[in-house]
Copies of this chain bind each other. A is one copy, B any other.
Amino acid sequence: MLDKFKLGACLPTFGSCADRYCLSGYGKGGKTVEEMMSMARQVEDLDGLELVGNWHVNDDNIDYMKKLFADNNLAICMVVPDLWTQEKWGAGSLASTDASVRKDAVREVAKSMDWAAGVGCAYVDVWPGQDGFDYPLQADFTEAWKRLRDGVAECAAYRSDVKVLVEYKLKEPRTHCYVNSAAKTILLLDGIDNTGCLLDIGHSMAAGENVAEAAALLAEFGILDYLHLNDNYRTWDDDMLVASVNIPETLEFVYWLRRLRYSGWLTLDIFPYREEKLPAVRNCFAWMKALLNAVDRTGLDKIGAVIETGDANEAVRLVREMLTGK
């Protein structure tokens, strides 16, 4: 726990990270769920872990996983339906032009919702990363949009005790993903009950958004439900350690979380390809604590007063003071 927030991480953070060149991964691969959890337990303050459907939780191990997490005093904060690791989703999942693929995708989400319910998790994270296009004249935007809306609606209606969160991203694995911004996510979910948004800092930054602004907009529409923390160099989802590149905007983001009274999960979605996993996770939480302390020490009123002026000099000075005390 970090004050009002719950701290989470994706289970594979403790495994091995691969990329398209080093497909076998940069660290020791092949860790079991138990081994990864054993590492996770060593992180002070960690409250829960995200699991990927099929890979970590499935029809055969629901009770086992529930007990395993209970025994370790950790929550399962998210079940992520596997709509992106198999070749069959390559040309899209919920927005596929193939009706049987769309049906499969909805079923996959439904299964994850069952698994989530079974292990006491409130959310599934629908990331339609394969739903998009790569080349000009390859996509029927109008039809794709309808299919996405229909698919999400069907998932959301499947059962009401697990909320369907949609995670947006500008690109990757497609050169263009359909659900690519906070505003578009709001439009996508408009009028569909039992849905919300998962905001990933890095996705937001790489989409050209200011992430605090994205959070405020989502909160305005009542769907700031869940957060993924990480960082990048703005043009790609580098999935780096929190605040390792962009400190002022991460600080601003933390301020807005307080102001918007966000009190949900702060879950790491990092890919520490070449890094030791435990120090990487601790580093991220240490930065979050440092920034949260800076915000709380300074006070929302004082920060709000500077924002009210709109004076860039005051803003830059305040950031420096909050970080360095000078």
Given A19-B173, A286-B320: A142 touches B216 (CB 8 Å cut-off): yes
Which A310-326 residues have C-beta < 8 A from chain B? 310-313, 315-320, 323-326
Known contacts A235-B235, A241-B135, A312-B138: A22-B173 contact under CB 8 Å: yes
Given contacts A23-B18, A183-B181, contact A307 B212 (CB under 8 A): no
Which chain B residue shows the least CB distance to A239? B20
Determine whether the beta carbon of A141 is less than 8 Å from that of B274: no
A74 at the interface (CB under 8 A from B): no
| Given A170-B208, A184-B181, CB of A138 within 8 Å of CB of B19 | no
Q: What residues on B are CB-neighbors of A207 within 8 Å? A: 208
Q: Mark A257-273, 1 if CB is under 8 A from B, else 0.
A: 00000000000000111
A73 close to B (CB within 8 Å): no
A186 interface residue, CB < 8 Å from B?
Answer: yes
A210 touches B (CB below 8 Å): yes
Cβ-based interface call for A308 (8 A):
yes
| Contacts A18-B20, A274-B312, A286-B317 supplied; 19 other A-B pairs, CB < 8 Å | A20-B271, A21-B84, A22-B84, A22-B85, A27-B87, A134-B273, A135-B241, A136-B212, A136-B245, A137-B318, A139-B213, A141-B212, A141-B213, A175-B240, A187-B187, A234-B234, A244-B319, A245-B246, A283-B316
Chain A residues close to B by CB (< 8 Å): 17-27, 84-87, 89-92, 97, 129, 133-142, 145, 170-173, 175-176, 178, 180-181, 183-184, 186-187, 207-210, 212-213, 216-217, 219-221, 233-236, 238, 240-241, 243-249, 251-252, 255-256, 271-276, 279-280, 283, 286-287, 289-290, 294, 303-304, 306-313, 315-320, 323-326
